[in-house]
């Protein structure tokens, strides 16, 4: 590990941020964790919580150490681009030595889709800033299965998706957090790099159903549905139209076999294979029983 420097994690209570600050705590490396509300802060050794709103650039600077590192992630929102570029500007003003951004595997500034476009525009702002950076483009995460899919399995021993037999190399968020930790603690190896993080194997939802069945020791069925059925479900859940169009486009591409790419970034960066879906479901078995 290179000489320790002060690290600041934005989005510290989210999926990746919470795992990342736990890794710093376990390694006994001091880290500043930024959250909009301290009510969500979880006390951990070596973790100092800082309350700040990414919508206000001036609030962010006190959380950032000169010559330090920054990890940037946040959930999709109407103000996503403004908030993340605020962090980039604050980091530049504070004189940080390295910024790691969690991005989307589909990031593209000219995309007509909300999530790829917002990440693409922030990536552009980061690459144009005077900051050494690393971009982590994450594929779909296995932990997304812990919500509606897991509930459906628990109640009915079946679940439905609109991706047909299309495959995707889903990645475990714990692997993404470990990659981010390595990039932040050994930054010189990762300056001006973009990594596309995937699992080690592309799978479809028949494979997912088989893996869950093995863990719960009961048959679990995957029930394919149409894209229009999926759209109606999301509309009934009152998802914003921009998100619905994004998710429909993702599922369409997967149905058409366009999302099966597997990279070796995780294995190269961690020195071991990515976690498999079998490992994931074994580790989260109680969520599906």
Average pLDDT over residues 141-146: 98
Residue 165 is assigned to a structural domain of this protein: no
Q: Are 256 and 165 in contact (CB under 8 A)?
A: no
Residue 53 is assigned to a structural domain of this protein: yes
Q: Are 70 and 12 in contact (CB under 8 A)?
A: no
Residue 267 is assigned to a structural domain of this protein: no
Residue 84 is assigned to a structural domain of this protein: yes
Read off the CATH number of the domain in which 18 is found.
Answer: 3.40.50.720
How confident is the model over 33-84, as pLDDT tens digits? 999 999 999 999 999 999 999 999 999 999 998 889 999 999 988 999 999 9
How confident is the model over 185-234, as pLDDT tens digits? 999 999 999 999 999 999 999 999 999 999 999 999 999 999 999 999 99
Provide the domain limits for residue 87. Answer: 7-138
Q: How many domains does the chain fold into?
A: 1
Residue 179 is assigned to a structural domain of this protein: no
Residue 244 is assigned to a structural domain of this protein: no
Residue 208: how many other CB atoms lie within 10 Å? 22
Residue 111 is assigned to a structural domain of this protein: yes
| Model pTM above 0.85 | yes
Spell out the long-range contacts of 141-148 with Cβ–Cβ below 8 A and sequence spacing 24 or more: 141/15, 141/170, 141/171, 141/172, 141/173, 141/176, 142/170, 142/171, 142/172, 142/173, 142/199, 142/275, 142/277, 142/280, 143/15, 143/172, 143/173, 145/208, 145/280, 146/284, 146/287
pLDDT of 2 higher than 60: no
Residues 172-200 as b or e (16 or more Cβ within 10 Å = b): bbbbbbbbbbbbbbebeebeeebbbbbbb
Q: Are 257 and 166 in contact (CB under 8 A)?
A: yes
Q: Is the Cα dihedral 91, 92, 98, 103 positive or negative? A: positive
| Both tokens assigned to 47 | 């973790």
Residue 42 is assigned to a structural domain of this protein: yes
Q: Are 229 and 162 in contact (CB under 8 A)?
A: yes
């Amino acid at each position: 590990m290179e000489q320790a420097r002060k690290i600041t994690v934005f989005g510290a209570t989210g999926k990746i941020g919470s795992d990342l600050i736990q890794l710093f705590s376990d390694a006994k490396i001091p880290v500043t964790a930024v959250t909009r509300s301290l009510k969500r802060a979880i006390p951990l050794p070596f973790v100092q919580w800082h309350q700040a709103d990414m919508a206000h650039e001036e609030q962010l600077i006190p959380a950032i150490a000169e010559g330090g590192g920054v990890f940037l992630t946040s959930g999709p929102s109407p103000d996503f681009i403004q908030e993340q570029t605020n962090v980039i500007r604050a980091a530049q003003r504070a004189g940080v030595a390295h910024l790691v951004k969690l991005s989307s595997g589909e990031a593209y500034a000219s995309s007509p889709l909300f999530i790829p476009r917002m990440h693409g525009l922030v990536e552009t702002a980061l690459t144009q800033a005077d900051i050494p950076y690393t971009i982590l483009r994450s594929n779909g995460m296995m932990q997304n299965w812990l919500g509606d899919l897991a509930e459906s399995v628990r109640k009915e021993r079946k679940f439905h998706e609109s991706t047909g037999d299309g495959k995707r190399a889903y990645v475990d968020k714990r692997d993404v957090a470990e990659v981010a930790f390595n990039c932040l603690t050994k930054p010189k190896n990762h300056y001006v790099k973009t990594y596309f993080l995937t699992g080690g194997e592309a799978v479809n939802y028949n494979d997912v159903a088989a893996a869950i069945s093995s863990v719960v020791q009961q048959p679990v069925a995957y029930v394919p549905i149409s894209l229009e059925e999926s759209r109606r479900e999301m509309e009934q859940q009152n998802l914003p139209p921009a998100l619905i169009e994004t998710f429909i486009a993702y599922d369409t591409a997967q149905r058409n076999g366009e999302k099966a790419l597997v990279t070796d970034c995780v294995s190269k960066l961690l020195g071991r294979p990515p976690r498999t879906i079998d490992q994931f479901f074994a580790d989260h078995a109680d969520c599906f029983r």
